[in-house]
Structure 1
Amino acid sequence: MANFSTVVELYRASSRPRFDGRSFSTTVVLDDTLSFIIKSLLNGNKGNGCFEDIEIDGEMFDEDDIENIQSNIRIGKKFTYTFITPKNGAERFYRSLEDFLSINTLKKGILPNNYYIAYNDFYSLDDDRPSIIDKIEKICSIITLLSEIAHYHDTKSESSNYRLVFVKNSDSKSTSVALETCITEKMLQIDDINDDVLKTLLSPEDSASPHHLEKIGIFRNTIVEYTIEKNLNFEMLICNWPLFLKLYNNNLSTYMSGFSFHKARKDIATAEAEFAEKISKIITELTGKILSIPVSLLASIGIFKLNSTPEMSLVLSGVVLTSFLLHMVLVNQEKQLNIVTHAKDLAFKSFIKNSTSYPKELNDDIQIAIKELTKNQAKCQKTIRLFMYLTWLPSSIAFAIFLSRFFI
């Protein structure tokens, strides 16, 4: 069944005669391929194009007399014809790339499915695609994606292109730009036309990311900033597309660095407060437990009032046992302090590891936090050791009194 591809086959099989924008005319010697193509087009829908001025071996034929024409189509005969190419909107034959770029659908980012450019001998369904066609497709993709990112675009307008409006909001005022979309040959001279950034911004995966709206906002603001600063229209924006993307990536990196800075500062403050609280809790528990030392001290001094050896031995044993139990409690507190210290070192290890990527202000905060926690840790350690010595003071006094009663 004849279709647009069949017309392209006829044109190529006829050695690509001159195409005037409406039709092409030539004389060919019929072979199997040409005979099959011509018969298919004669029997097909005229929406796919039609013949006129048919001449076979010098004899003129009425193009509507299909049966008579087909009966005279034989291999080796000379077939002279004019073929009017199909015009189904943008899906048609074009004389040149310039003609193709002038169609309105491209200005709205819509690439026709079936088209043929005679000068370049390119058919849209060909496997071998010239680089310039790839660039056109990229620009069409950019137009389509930008129309989704823009604050406003006139989708219902009957104009030949889009008018993309981007707004940059600030505390004092709002600034906007309106870009009239187009595709020109000048834009096709750019080598690095990339739509990956736009595709990523509008992908479902990025839409679910925590900073998606911020990224879209930064992209819009960058367009306003860049086009106003450079006084660019849409054509010049695409011509400077690599530089624009570089500016956008720099702006995005600045934002993400600022976010990481504030997040890291918040994490440091949280970690500092958490470990300071744990160390303070250990000291508070020590204070409660060490109150038993004065009681033991009074008991040890009370040995002076005792006369019998069994009574003194019993009190001495009680004081020594109390000192031992308190000592074990303090040993346990010291182990808890070591665990907290180890956890603190692990928590701050990642901050220290990434310190080279942090600004000086954040590095100073990290060093201050570590210094203060280390001071608290050392103070707690000294307090525990002091209490360990003090726990044995009642026992030492009781033992000294016990011995003095027998040897002095």
Structure 2
Amino acid sequence: MTTAFDHAVKVYRALGRPEFAGGFFRGTLKVTDALMPSLVKLAELDWLLAPTMKKVVNDAEIEVEIKVGVGQSAFFSPTWAHLLASHNFKYAPPEVYYVAEDDYFSAEKINTVNSRRYAAILSLLKVLREVADYCDESLSGLKFVFLNKTKLELPVKYDAADLRDVPKVKDLEHDMFETSSKHKGQRQVIIKVILNELLKDIAEDARFTKLLSDFTIFTQRYRDSYDLYIAEFSFEKVLDEVKAHKLDYTIKLNKVFSDIQNQLLAIPAALILIGSKLTPKGFVEWQNSLTMLGCVIFVALMDLLVRNQYNTLTAILDEIRKQTDLLISKHAALVPKFKDPYEDLEKRHAHQRWLIRIVDALVAAMFLCCVGIYYWYSTGEYHWLKYWITH
């Protein structure tokens, strides 16, 4: 049904050099067949203040003054700033309204940037009203009061310059009002906790604009906290679990090297003992051969020990990665917050692996030294290698 307000908007859009003054607008208009019905209707409803209908004829250039709605049911505004400064439109929109600066008519549902932002803020207010423990709606404005561990007061103060995108506010509204949404009570508690964390140190009058500017942070914390609740965990509990895993695996990784520390002392001792036992008595001398056989057995046992420690390190790394995958599957949204401890464990694993490699290299070096000594003592005085080294 076309109302007087619809006709007024249609005429306004056709004006040349329109001016707005209080409850009416004026401007130059060329009368056309398309505009005539609107002008007639406005005249019948006493919205056409000037000129008289006698002067309203096709193709005539006329100066018109048209009354417009400026109340709760219909509101004509030149700017968004004017709209937000009128009545209580910061908190609840008129039933139908027109904003001239954007040529936005709410009845047409063709959004502009500012109309979309305004609608998002109204959705946010709807959610806050549902979550708040108390709403103070006085002549001074709207204020929400949230009671958690502490009391947080949130006055709704903003103007046209503060209109901005409020991403995912519709998802939040859905969580609060859709009958299929679960855990509404817990969601409300989560929202109150996050509001307190974000706004408690902000001056009261700046809290609402701060919430608008940090709304992406707000929604991310809300999702993270709710994901934890769904998994029946708290953030602190998950953090304690991660710390416990890190400590446990750090001990295991360190133990891989500490388990063979006593055996490491045998490497230089074996080199000294074998070097002192080998004597220049010829290739088939039984004492040198038995000593060298003992060296071979010692190196073989040390090699088995080192290989066993390699396998232990690989098994521990597999456990660490399984724990990481389990964390991702349970708390995917929180992985960035807990990745550092697991990265530290992988670095510790790489460090321990290098230590085992050093041990492996030392055993190999000792064996080569012993082989060299044995070979030296087991060859004649004029062997080509001895001759080449000594001469």
TM-score, structure 2 normalization: 0.55
> 2:215 & 2:163 partners in 1: Cα distance?
12
Contact 2:145 2:154 in 1 (8 A): yes
Alignment RMSD, CA only?
3.2
Alignment correspondent of 2:48: 50
SS at match of 1:144: helix
Contact 1:26 1:80 in 2 (8 A): yes
User: Any residues of structure 2 matched to 1:158-237 within 5 Å, and which?
Assistant: 158-159=138-139, 161-169=141-149, 175-190=150-165, 192=167, 194-206=169-181, 209=182, 211-229=183-201, 233-237=207-211
> 2:134 & 2:154 partners in 1: Cα distance?
11
Q: Moved runs in structure 1, 4+ residues, more than 6 A?
A: 351-354
Contact 2:127 2:176 in 1 (8 A): no
Alignment correspondent of 1:244: 218
User: Any residues of structure 2 matched to 1:2-401 within 5 Å, and which?
Assistant: 2-15=3-16, 17-44=18-45, 46=46, 49-52=47-50, 54=51, 63=52, 69-70=53-54, 72-89=55-72, 91-108=74-91, 110-154=92-136, 157-159=137-139, 161-169=141-149, 175-190=150-165, 192=167, 194-206=169-181, 209=182, 211-229=183-201, 233-259=207-233, 355-356=326-327, 357=329
Closer, same or farther: CA 2–149 of 1 in aligned 2, 3 Å: closer
SS at match of 1:107: coil
Instruction: State the structure with more CA Rg.
Output: 1
Contact 1:90 1:105 in 2 (8 A): no
Contact 2:121 2:166 in 1 (8 A): no
Aligned residues: 243
Closer, same or farther: CA 89–358 of 1 in aligned 2, 3 Å: closer
Alignment correspondent of 1:348: none
> Which ranges in structure 1 are unaligned for 5 or more consecutive residues?
55-62, 64-68, 170-174, 263-350, 360-408
SS at match of 1:145: helix
Letter in 2 for 1:83: I
Report sequence identity in percent: 20
Contact 2:20 2:78 in 1 (8 A): yes
Q: 1:193: how far off?
A: 5.8
> 1:204 & 1:2 partners in 2: Cα distance?
35
TM-score, structure 1 normalization: 0.53
> 1:358 & 1:158 partners in 2: Cα distance?
46
Closer, same or farther: CA 104–51 of 1 in aligned 2, 3 Å: closer
Contact 2:126 2:173 in 1 (8 A): no
Q: 1:229: how far off?
A: 4.4
> Which ranges in structure 2 are unaligned for 5 or more consecutive residues?
238-321, 332-391
Letter in 1 for 2:198: Y
Contact 1:106 1:183 in 2 (8 A): no
> 1:225 & 1:260 partners in 2: Cα distance?
16
Q: 1:222: how far off?
A: 1.5
Closer, same or farther: CA 230–257 of 1 in aligned 2, 3 Å: farther
> 1:159 & 1:83 partners in 2: Cα distance?
31
